[in-house]
Structure 1
Amino acid sequence: MSIENVTARISELQARLAQFAPARVSGSGSGFATELAGARVATTGAASGGTVSGADVVAEARKYLGLPYVWGGTDPTKGMDCSGLVQVVYKSLGYDLPRVSYQQAASGRPVADLAQAQPGDLLAWDNSSRNNGVDHIAIYIGDGKMIEAPRTGLDIRVVDVPSTPDVIRRIIDQPAAGTAGTAPVSARAATGTPYADLIDAAAARTGVPGSLIAAVARQESGFDPRAVSSAGAQGLMQLMPGTARGLGVTDPFDPAQAIDGGARLLRSLLDRFGRTELALAAYNAGPGAVSRYGGIPPYRETQNYVRTVMAMVS
């Protein structure tokens, strides 16, 4: 029996097992499984004012790149399947999603099409006619790419979205733009942004939202590629010479190199600290300061920097 046939058979068994859930919830006229799948999950993120962003979801998911696919797996140290990855990522951010893909694909709220999808949204497909509902789910990271746990024999990876998803769902509530520390993050730089093509290309390579890269460039240098700070930081992204060398940037005054290096630095800080605000604080004050204080350092400059950049993100 081929791997594809085994996978299809497993999906069929999953769907049949769901039928053994209690038929009804007391006082309700709908099936328990449907109620569970369709209900909007309660989240600590929402309870704390909606501070989780799509970039946070993507940064959390990236921590598991290279981990083996394990069918039925939910262990972030050993391996996970597609829905296990989704559940673990969102659970770490305070969102309690159902376990299997077809239930996850009924959580949150619908997104009309891929053009309207945002980083952190769930993309799902119904690939098999042998079972009802979707059987594969992934996390969108922007610019036509996603993170998935694909199948046995492959590791968790970043790939192009292979086809139009059958279902797109948004789990997190994006707060109003302009709220410090909570602004939604766009995958692309806004129309008219200087060096937008270079920024969008760097965003596609790194998974860092283009609007975040653009906001950092605007705050750091005002988009001046020849800018030099009193401390010696250089170029559009104001990279210190040592930092630039560590990133392989040979000419920080070259816009393409500067943007690529700055985006990769942001990527590493997002992966390390898991939150956009903390990554920005580390970009400004250094990762050591963020680690030392366990959050945004009590420096007025850094606090203003984070607040200003987050207010520009849209």
Structure 2
Amino acid sequence: MMGIDGIMARISELQNQLGIVPAATATATSATGKTGGTAFAAALADATGTDTGTTRTGATGDDVVAAAKKYLGTKYVFGSTDPANGLDCSALVQRAYGDLGVDLPRNSWQQAKVGTPVDGLANAKAGDILAFGSPVHHVAIYLGDNKMIAAPKPGDHVKIESVYEKPTHIRRVLGTEAAAGTFGTAAVARPAALQQSGDLAGVPYANLFMQAGAKYGVSPKLLAAVAKVESGYNPKAVSPVGAQGLMQLMPSTARGLGVQNAFDPAQAIDGGAKLLAHNLKEFKSLPLAIAAYNAGGGAVHKYGGIPPYAETQAYVPKVQKALAALGG
């Protein structure tokens, strides 16, 4: 008989399969709050494509452990992938690997199939994924010395604990052939231009930048550069004028882009990529697209170039410098 954890895991699978993202209904403004005079909702709908491929990474198992430890104390919330609200067990694993540029599937039973199998806990290494149950209903990240880090159950929080029972699966992701390939069942090849952009090794949220870049046809390095200048890669950042999250989206901008939670890095990066894709298409100029991200497209049209705002005049070269530092 399937226990409660198994039932909850199955519910999560069904929720993921049936989830609906509300369509954007509001007119967006610029990321930093100045109104852009161009209505671009229809143009944004032209951006299509997905990418579930895993990026190459030079990360190690110890890096996975370090990434997971950043979430110690985060409360357990079933079905949540946003650390600001809470995480469940598979979201913790997905998030820790994702912060290093490795894209894992969402559910615990899927994570129990990635990478290569490890024969027994005695051969496990730091960073390996431990899966429990048949069917799998729980996952954790191995630390070594019979310890693991996990989001255990409702009412609890992300913590380090002993490996309390024999794992049914142990999977090694980093340093394997699969780590450089694709997880999941519906991989989409990256456009050649994005293949040339590099992997952003060591950049926080690298996999999210790669995915959003492939989805909207924007350089992942440009997205990372904008995030660096906007928030210093801080997903909880709030500006004096109310811009929020990693990509510093104003609430009205976020709504127009279909972003429900600007503090969720995945949603924020997706929204920022959507906005930059529109700006690049409209202005056909990288500096002007960057300026429009800061001041709004209406201001760029009004002045026929980078607006004479001190903030925007300084912002454009800052992003270009950050982009150059990433090799863009």
TM category (shorter chain) comes to 0.3 to 0.5
Structure possessing the higher relative contact order (Cα contacts under 8 Å, 6 or more residues apart): 2
Normalising by structure 2, what TM-score? Answer: 0.40
